[in-house]
Amino acid sequence: MMETHAQYVDYLPTKEKQETSQELEDTAQQQQILYQKAMNQEQPSVLQQRSTVSKGKYTLNDFQIMRTLGTGSFGRVHLVRSVHNGRYYAIKVLKKQQIVKMKQIEHTNDERRMLKLVEHPFLIRMWGTFQDSNNLFMVMDYIEGGELFSLLRKSQRFPNPVAKFYAAEVVLALEYLHFNNIIYRDLKPENILLDRNGHIKITDFGFAKEVTTVTWTLCGTPDYIAPEVIATKPYNKSVDWWSLGILIYEMLAGYTPFYDTTPMKTYEKILHGRVTYPSFFNSDVVDLLSKLITADLTRRIGNLQNGTQEIKSHPWFSEVVWEKLLSKDIETPYEPPIVSGVGDTSLFDQYPEERLNYGIHGEDPYEALFTDF
């Protein structure tokens, strides 16, 4: 648990870093207290001291909009090129009207805030945001290797060590988010990108939320939603550990444990909770999964006395050197075939392009709703 705190020091802004490293020189006991305090919510997480303001930093004119990299319920993600430095970025464009119609105003504002706060090697980085009268824009790093989803569907299933590698990087990302009281709530291969070296970047913070106690909103992706969320119970971070279990299962099996033809049938299966493990699953992973994919919160690993540490020291992860993994000092199982420096998009699927109405500044009925952008 001690290393846990020390690891994050590298990813904090300089000011906190100095203060925190001072503390870290003290005895291990004090570190324990520090961690315990944070875990007990007696002090706000360090992230709360960071600025989330990003207004007026960019405009549409700073970028040349290129092809679509993905589409969602509220808009699409474009590859863009900075007209200043020639570098490639991804811009997520959200239609205000659609957000309002789908009643996702709060989630959208949370998404921007969370992305602005987090800083971790396995989380996508957001550079800034802006808006016009119809759309919100979020400027993010362009991660060329495509979605883990595409790699998984192409491979059908991952060999045990490969699934373990991606799972381990996800564990570190979730550990960081949870340490900062952020729940992610939408873990799935579609939301995990691979960088040019094959390390993961978790993207799409649409449901990420800072939560110190519990939260209530039903959200996620049907195959991945935890039973307590379906049952309208208050829930917290442990829902992400459930989803991690589903992710590992899907990476190894090629399909999810509760899939069915309709979401309602899937939810019934999730509440019923019976998981069949394919015979080719390694026995360590079956043990880990049975502890992640359990409705009993007193048995769900990650939610227990020793928190994430218990997952990290599970036998399935025994060969993982966590410090090395965090510093990307472990060779990745797959390096995406990328033509460097040219905004190669060959690893992203094609989406039909549509006529863009970006950059209109006129009447905006939703002006008051997204003032942070």
CA distance 363 to 361: 7
Q: Which residues pair with 79 in a beta bridge?
A: 90
Of 102, 327, 361, 367, the one binding other proteins by CB under 8 A: 102
Give the binding range for other proteins (CB under 8 A) out of 9-17, 125-133, 171-179, 183-191. 183-191
Is 92 part of any known ligand binding site?
yes
Of 8, 63, 122, 165, the one binding other proteins by CB under 8 A: 165
Using DSSP, state whether 38 is helix, strand or coil. helix
Residue (14 or 261) nearer to other proteins, CB: 261
Q: Does 251 bind other proteins (CB under 8 A)?
A: no
Pick the catalytic residue from 110, 132, 186, 204.
186
Of 243, 256, 308, 345, the one binding other proteins by CB under 8 A: 256
Give the binding range for other proteins (CB under 8 A) out of 4-12, 13-21, 136-144, 153-161. 153-161
- Is 186 annotated as catalytic? yes
Q: Does 156 bind other proteins (CB under 8 A)?
A: yes
CA distance 306 to 54: 37
CA distance 147 to 240: 19
Biggest CA–CA distance in the chain, Å, is 61
Q: Does 179 bind other proteins (CB under 8 A)?
A: no
Q: Does 87 bind other proteins (CB under 8 A)?
A: no
Residue (19 or 268) nearer to other proteins, CB: 268
Question: Are residues 20 and 30 in contact, defined by beta-carbon separation less than 8 angstroms?
Answer: no
Element (H, E) at 172: helix 160-179
Of 151, 171, 172, 292, the one binding other proteins by CB under 8 A: 151
Which residue reads 């969370």 in tokens?
114
Q: Does 62 bind other proteins (CB under 8 A)?
A: no
Q: Does 44 bind other proteins (CB under 8 A)?
A: no
Residue (255 or 361) nearer to other proteins, CB: 255
Other C-beta atoms lying within 10 Å of the C-beta of residue 156: 9
Identify the CA nearest to 239 among candidates 215, 267, 269. Answer: 215
Among positions 286-345, residues that touch other proteins (CB under 8 A) are 296-299, 303-305, 319-320, 330-335, 337-340
CA distance 144 to 339: 9
Of 45, 64, 82, 133, the one binding other proteins by CB under 8 A: 64
Of 235, 249, 322, 370, the one binding other proteins by CB under 8 A: 235
Question: Are residues 87 and 81 in contact, defined by beta-carbon separation less than 8 angstroms?
Answer: yes
Q: Does 34 bind other proteins (CB under 8 A)?
A: no
Identify the CA nearest to 207 among candidates 227, 164, 252, 177. Answer: 177
Give the binding range for other proteins (CB under 8 A) out of 13-21, 60-68, 117-125, 131-139. 60-68
Give the binding range for other proteins (CB under 8 A) out of 9-17, 34-42, 46-54, 114-122. 34-42
Using DSSP, state whether 183 is helix, strand or coil. strand
Identify the CA nearest to 285 among candidates 332, 240, 249. Answer: 249
Which residues make up each annotated binding site for ATP?
92
Residues tagged active-site: 186
